[in-house]
Structure 1
Amino acid sequence: MKDARYPIGPFEFSEVVGKDQVDGWIEEIRLFPSKLASTLSGASEQALEKTYREGGWTVKQLVHHLADSHMNSYIRFKLALTEDTPTIKPYDEAAWAKLPDSEMPITTSYKLIEYLHERWVYLLTSFTEEQWQATFNHPDAGIMTLEKALALYVWHGKHHLAHIQYALAT
């Protein structure tokens, strides 16, 4: 792996997006929990304590982070759909990863991801073309459309799935 921090490369977004691309991203959100389950299948408790790089999060912390992050994203989507460019609250991901609930078994966070993604896909498939252009303001990243946020979270899932796969393979 060239750069363990970004095993699939940095996030890239083309400002010109078609319906087929959006539909593909929705399908990626739908499939993510099963891809995660497949990757984690058979992993021992010892394997869940492995990291993908020195100083990186453990597999267990990554699974809990995915649940935390994707919950935050889902809420951001709902805020953007119901408010006029709301400013969302960022959170300290590294500090969250050190909280005691990041040490619990991953089953709870996996189930949360599974059900959250089911609900998220249900919401996403209801969007009108106009709703994809709804925005929120991230204090660090600026104004973001829901279309771009969807692309970002597809990347985010793949990004951390690659971290998990790498950690479990070493």
Structure 2
Amino acid sequence: MRREEIGAIYDWLGTLGEETVSRVPAPGVWSPKQVLGHLVDSACNNHARWARMVTEDAPVFPLWDQDAWDLAQDWQGCPWAEILSLWHAYNLHLARFASLLPADRLHSACATVGRLNGGQPMTLAELLEHYDRHLHHHLAQIRERVGA
């Protein structure tokens, strides 16, 4: 994702009020705050994956228990402004980091990432694409949940 797109998303998310983003749509369904917290967790995990794929050969990564991470960090109880600032800063860093990834590693570096890709190894380029799709999927959830 480009820095300009991250800025535009940040600006839009910044217009959402605490009450709106705290609303849990149904039992067992994440609020927009929890969804954005999950995206922070995703950024954290993918940051480590990308760095290790550049510096190691054929690393293996587990998937993380997203519900356990949500509960452990209490994204629902965290102020929206803090989650948003963390998401923004992390994604700006990832955009910069992605631009620095060596071209020769994009298609040669492979890793197994839990059940992603049917448990088959993924290239760094595939993992970058997966991160972007995952991010946009969850941003669409936030849009839906706030009625935008």
**TM-score (normalised: structure 2):** 0.84
Q: CA deviation at 1:62?
A: 0.8
Q: CA deviation at 1:151?
A: 0.8
Q: CA deviation at 1:32?
A: 4.7
Q: CA deviation at 1:48?
A: 1.1
Runs (4+) of structure 1 exceeding 6 A deviation are none
Counterpart contact for 1:88–1:139, Cα < 8 Å: yes
Q: CA deviation at 1:45?
A: 1.9
Q: Distance between the aligned counterparts of 1:118 and 1:45, measured in 2?
A: 23
Q: Distance between the aligned counterparts of 2:12 and 2:58, measured in 1?
A: 37
Deviation per CA, 1:37-81, whole angstroms, max 9, x where unpaired? 233233222211224666321011011111111111011000111
- 1 or 2, which has the higher helix percentage? 2
> How many residues get paired?
143
Q: What residue ranges of structure 2 are gaps of 5+ in the alignment?
A: none
Q: CA deviation at 1:33?
A: 3.1
Deviation per CA, 1:106-141, whole angstroms, max 9, x where unpaired? 222222222222222222212333110212111322
Q: Distance between the aligned counterparts of 1:47 and 1:40, measured in 2?
A: 11
- Using CA pairs under 8 Å that are at least 6 residues apart, name the structure with larger relative contact order, 1 or 2: 1
Residues 62 and 32 (structure 1 numbering): CA distance in 2 closer, same or farther, change over 3 Å? farther
Q: Distance between the aligned counterparts of 2:139 and 2:24, measured in 1?
A: 12
- Structure 2 residue 79 is matched with structure 1 residue 105: yes
Counterpart contact for 2:18–2:80, Cα < 8 Å: no
Letter in 2 for 1:167: R
Counterpart contact for 1:76–1:88, Cα < 8 Å: yes
Letter in 2 for 1:151: E
Equivalent residue in structure 2 for 1:136, among 85, 106, 111: 111
Q: What residue ranges of structure 1 are gaps of 5+ in the alignment?
A: 1-25
Letter in 2 for 1:39: W
* Cross-structure match for 2:98: 124
- Measured on the aligned residues, the alpha-carbon RMSD in Å equals 2.1
Letter in 2 for 1:89: P
Counterpart contact for 2:37–2:70, Cα < 8 Å: yes
Residues 122 and 41 (structure 1 numbering): CA distance in 2 closer, same or farther, change over 3 Å? closer
Letter in 2 for 1:150: L
**TM-score (normalised: structure 1):** 0.74
Q: Distance between the aligned counterparts of 2:126 and 2:26, measured in 1?
A: 28
Q: Identity of paired residues, percent?
A: 24
